[in-house]
Homo-oligomer: A and B are copies of this chain.
């Protein structure tokens, strides 16, 4: 499986395409709805390009790197070829009516076209519809990254929920902290050493073991004082709900 077609020209397609080319895979062709975007990426990868799904060339593997919403409609327009998608939320099932060899090739990372990324550290979650095909996918993933994991669709869905808590929700906690500090003219950057320390703890401990703070200590005096101090109704409620959850969780 050396000759690959990329469907998509966004962040994932760009980073994957470059990494595959650097690992001596040939990107045969780039498809995008937008012929302009297809051309930009194809030029980087020395590949053909098209915006017409009926004009796909033959290849060993198609990698679908397009928005979740568009996957079904695109699949309905292409012929049976070995194929994978790169989505954390879409199951393996999306391929099963039409394709013989199919799988998932999911890089667990936020990509941004403009930012260089060290792809060798990114976890790749791999699933194939047969052991043989899965092996071939794992081989490709290992050419790109040192962090390759076999994972079924149920596990991948759970991983996605866990990532929402660990990344999206924790980032929202930073946003709230930033807002609270801005109201008193304090720079959010003052929290960075403490945030970095919190993350550093995760290298050696489970997060539950290194939980600190008033809720962990069941320090209701401080909790009540904080709740009384917070002016915004929703932030107050969030403080209460999360504190109650921590207290219950550490009982």
Does A210 count as interface, using CB distance less than 8 angstroms?
Answer: yes
Are B198 and A177 in touch, CB under 8 angstroms? Answer: no
Collect the chain B residues with CB atoms within 8 Å of residue A185's CB: 155
Does A23 count as interface, using CB distance less than 8 angstroms?
Answer: no
CB-CB contacts below 8 Å: A2-34 with B:
none
Collect the chain B residues with CB atoms within 8 Å of residue A201's CB: 171
Collect the chain B residues with CB atoms within 8 Å of residue A225's CB: 89, 157
Q: How many copies does the complex hold?
A: 2
Are A241 and B238 in touch, CB under 8 angstroms? Answer: yes
Q: Given that A163-B194, A215-B168 are known contacts, is A158 also in contact with B175, CB under 8 Å in the complex?
A: no
Interface string of A167-192 (1 = CB under 8 A from B): 11111111111111101111010111
Collect the chain B residues with CB atoms within 8 Å of residue A192's CB: 202-203
User: Interface centre among A163, A173, A229, by most B CB within 10 Å?
Assistant: A173
Are B180 and A170 in touch, CB under 8 angstroms? Answer: no
| A241 touches which of B176, B199, B241, B248 (Cβ 8 Å) | B241
Collect the chain B residues with CB atoms within 8 Å of residue A234's CB: 245, 248
Are A158 and B186 in touch, CB under 8 angstroms? Answer: yes
Are A162 and B175 in touch, CB under 8 angstroms? Answer: no
| A162 touches which of B167, B180, B237, B241 (Cβ 8 Å) | B180
Collect the chain B residues with CB atoms within 8 Å of residue A45's CB: none
| A167 touches which of B154, B213, B226 (Cβ 8 Å) | B213
Are B229 and A158 in touch, CB under 8 angstroms? Answer: yes
A172 to chain B, nearest CB (A): 5
Interface string of A145-164 (1 = CB under 8 A from B): 00101010011011111111
Are A162 and B147 in touch, CB under 8 angstroms? Answer: no
Nearest B residue to A237 by beta-carbon distance?
Answer: B241
A selection of 17 A-B contacts at a CB cut-off of 8 Å is A108-B190, A108-B194, A110-B194, A121-B193, A122-B193, A123-B190, A147-B193, A159-B184, A162-B178, A164-B213, A166-B177, A166-B194, A167-B198, A172-B249, A174-B202, A175-B208, A199-B199
In the A-B complex, list the 6 residue pairs whose CB atoms are closest, starting with the nearest: A168-B213, A174-B207, A170-B170, A166-B177, A162-B177, A175-B207
Chain A residues at the B interface, C-beta cutoff of 8 Å: 68, 89, 108-110, 121-123, 125, 147, 149, 151, 154-155, 157-181, 183-186, 188, 190-199, 201-203, 206-208, 210-216, 222, 225-226, 229-230, 234, 237-239, 241-242, 245-246, 248-249
